[in-house]
Chain A
């Protein structure tokens, strides 16, 4: 069982959330070629260590949020709203890890 911190509601148990996948993938330009779109939609790494991912607090505030989680230890390293600053990155540039 993970304890995830919702930036709006505070720490909650994992059962209140749905997993939303890799939050570091940039959506390509609409005019990008097919291979670029294929990679963005389907191709995922299987990282070991810190990873930023989307979760939805579906049983609470219903918001999409980001969690930086160590996939090896399950340590929660940072959290933030779907866009903007993360708790470990107040400048809001985000996505510095993979």
Chain B
């Protein structure tokens, strides 16, 4: 009998579309933008029942070591785990793939606290660094990306080049961009072509 069991292979939406290397006008050997896809990530969407938000936050802290940030439009981080605010009582919990994040969360964040949805297959994440990171974002979004307004820890759901994205500010010149998998190639094209004027390095995925 042939083996008919489905073979599930983790495959980035950017596989076959990624062009690693140096591009555009790199001045003095220093690129204005460095783009690296972050993979593979475990991502779980968590939607807390409105009357269970406090208990849910404690359960997330038990499972991940960090509770969600107290304020909206903010992320919290501990070790490798990032908790992104995506709406009232809703978070994306993101980790580099290692343990079974969904199972780990499910043990503590029970059905009576929140609903969990595995989103690891559905998002693509780019890490953008470099002195022109804010100039790049400003080309595609109406958010104020001044260093005084878009600060490390901010986690903004917005449009970037017409794509619905979550922008997580990681540092003065670092942002993580999350977008739906089906838009990955198109948004990747926008990110790279918009970076050419600053000089661009595209790195192998991390």
CA distance A62 to B88 in the complex (A): 9
Q: Is the interface of B mostly helix, strand, loop or mixed?
A: strand
Q: Are A61 and B88 in contact (CB under 8 A)?
A: yes
Q: Are B88 and A63 in contact (CB under 8 A)?
A: yes
Taking CB atoms and an 8 Å cut-off, the chain B residues in 123-143 that contact chain A are: 142-143
Q: Which of B87, B143, B159 contacts A8 (CB 8 A)?
A: B87
**Nearest residue in B to A16 (C-beta to C-beta)?**
B159
Q: Are B73 and A9 in contact (CB under 8 A)?
A: yes
**CB proximity of A17 to chain B, nearest CB, Å:** 10
**Nearest residue in B to A60 (C-beta to C-beta)?**
B157
Q: Which of B72, B88, B90, B157 contacts A59 (CB 8 A)?
A: B157
**Nearest residue in B to A14 (C-beta to C-beta)?**
B142
CA distance A10 to B85 in the complex (A): 14
Task: Annotate A31-59 by CB proximity to B: 1 below 8 A, 0 otherwise.
Answer: 00000000000000000000000000011
Q: Are A8 and B72 in contact (CB under 8 A)?
A: yes
Query: Which residues of chain B are near A13, meaning CB under 8 Å?
Result: 142
Task: Annotate B66-88 by CB proximity to A: 1 below 8 A, 0 otherwise.
Answer: 00000011000000000000111
Task: Annotate B36-79 by CB proximity to A: 1 below 8 A, 0 otherwise.
Answer: 00000000000000000000000000000000000011000000
**CB proximity of A2 to chain B, nearest CB, Å:** 12
Taking CB atoms and an 8 Å cut-off, the chain B residues in 80-101 that contact chain A are: 86-88, 90
Q: Is the interface of A mostly helix, strand, loop or mixed?
A: loop
**CB proximity of B84 to chain A, nearest CB, Å:** 12
Query: Which residues of chain A are near B88, meaning CB under 8 Å?
Result: 8, 61, 63
Q: Are A16 and B86 in contact (CB under 8 A)?
A: no
Query: Which residues of chain A are near B159, meaning CB under 8 Å?
Result: 15-16, 59
Task: State whether the Cβ of A74 lies closer than 8 Å to any Cβ in chain B.
Answer: no
Task: Annotate B150-194 by CB proximity to A: 1 below 8 A, 0 otherwise.
Answer: 000000111100001000000000000000000000000000000
**CB proximity of A80 to chain B, nearest CB, Å:** 13
Q: Are B87 and A16 in contact (CB under 8 A)?
A: no
Q: Are A61 and B86 in contact (CB under 8 A)?
A: yes
**CB proximity of B145 to chain A, nearest CB, Å:** 14
Query: Which residues of chain A are near B90, meaning CB under 8 Å?
Result: 61
Please list 29 pairs of residues, one from A and one from B, whose beta carbons are closer than 8 Å in the complex, sorted by A's number: A8-B72, A8-B87, A8-B88, A9-B72, A9-B73, A9-B156, A9-B157, A10-B73, A12-B142, A12-B143, A12-B158, A13-B142, A16-B142, A16-B158, A58-B164, A59-B157, A59-B158, A59-B159, A60-B87, A60-B157, A60-B158, A61-B72, A61-B86, A61-B87, A61-B88, A61-B157, A62-B87, A62-B157, A63-B88
